[in-house]
Amino acid sequence: MNLTTSIDREASKAIGPLPSDHPPVSIQKVGVLLINLGTPDGTDVVSMRRYLREFLTDKRVIEWPKAVWYPILFGIVLRTRPGKVGKAYAEIWNKERDESYLRTYTRSQAEKLGEALKGHPHVITDWAMRYGNPSIEERLTALREQGCDRIVAFPLYPQYSATTTATVNDKVFEALMATRFMPAARTVPSYHDEPAYIEALARSIEAHIATLDFEPEKVIASYHGIPQSYFKRGDPYHCHCHKTSRLLEKRLGWETGRLITCFQSRFGPEEWLQPYTDKTIEKLAGEGVKSLAVFNPGFVSDCLETLEEIAGEGAEIFHEHGGENFTHIPCLNDSDEGMAVIEAMVRRELQGWI
pLDDT tens digit string along 220-274? 999 999 999 999 999 999 999 999 999 999 999 999 999 999 999 998 889 999 9
Q: What is the mean pLDDT of residues 272-278?
A: 98
pLDDT in tens, 29-42: 999 999 999 999 99
The DSSP secondary-structure symbol of 7 reads H
Residue 42 backbone class (left: φ over 0; alpha: ψ -120 to 50; beta: rest): beta
Query: Would you say residue 1 has pLDDT above 50?
Result: no
Residue 123: beta bridge partners? 30
Task: Check residue 72 and give its pLDDT.
Answer: 97
Q: Give, in words, the CATH class of 195-329.
A: alpha beta
Q: Model confidence at 194, in pLDDT bands (50, 70, 90)?
A: very high
pLDDT exceeds cutoff 90 at 16? no
**pLDDT greater than 90 at residue 15:** no
Instruction: Domain ranges for the chain, please list them.
Output: 24-190, 195-329
pLDDT tens digits for range 307-334: 999 999 999 999 999 999 999 999 999 9
Which of 104-109's residues contact partners 24+ apart within 8 Å by CB, and which partners? 105/300, 105/301, 105/302, 105/333, 105/334, 106/34, 106/36, 106/156, 106/301, 108/333, 108/334, 109/34, 109/156, 109/300, 109/301, 109/333, 109/334, 109/338, 109/339, 109/342
CATH class of 24-190: alpha beta
Contacts of 20 (CB under 8 A, 6+ apart): none
302 vs 299: CA distance, rounded Å: 7
**Terminal Cα distance for the chain, rounded:** 20
The 10s digit of each residue's pLDDT in 42-99 is 999 999 999 999 999 999 999 999 999 999 999 999 999 999 999 999 999 999 999 9
Residue 13: per-residue pLDDT: 55
pLDDT for residue 3: 41
Three-state DSSP class for residue 260: strand
Please choose, from the candidates 294, 289, 333, the residue with its C-alpha nearest in 3D space to the C-alpha of residue 310: 294
CB count within 10 Å of CB 121 equals: 8
- Among 306, 302, 317, residue whose Cα is nearest residue 156: 302
Cα Rg for the chain, rounded, in angstroms? 22
Residue 144 CA to residue 181 CA, distance in Å, equals 9
Domain 24-190 and domain 195-329, same fold? Reply is: yes
Helix ranges, 121-264 (H): 136-145, 167-177, 195-210, 228-232, 237-252
Q: Is the separation of the CB atoms in 88 and 50 below 8 Å?
A: no
pLDDT at 14 over 60: no
CA distance 198 to 201: 5
Amino acid (1-letter code) at residue 197: Y
Half-sphere exposure of 64 (CA within 13 A, CB side): 15
How many CB atoms within 10 Å of residue 65?
Answer: 9
The counts of H helices and E strands in the chain are 13, 8
- pLDDT per residue as tens digits for the range 121-136: 999 999 999 999 999 9
Q: C-alpha angle with apex 293: 254 to 241, nearest 5 degrees?
A: 65
For 31, how many CA atoms within 13 A lie in the half-sphere containing its CB? Answer: 26
Mean confidence (pLDDT) of the chain: 94
Distances in Å between the Cα of 277 and the Cα atoms of 75, 194, 310 are 29, 25, 9
Q: Give strand ranges (E) for the chain.
A: 29-39, 123-132, 148-155, 184-187, 218-224, 259-264, 291-295, 325-329
Nearest Cα residue to 105 out of 264, 313, 330, 329: 330
What mean pLDDT do residues 326-348 have?
98
Task: Give the tens place of pLDDT for each residue, 172-181.
Answer: 999 999 999 9
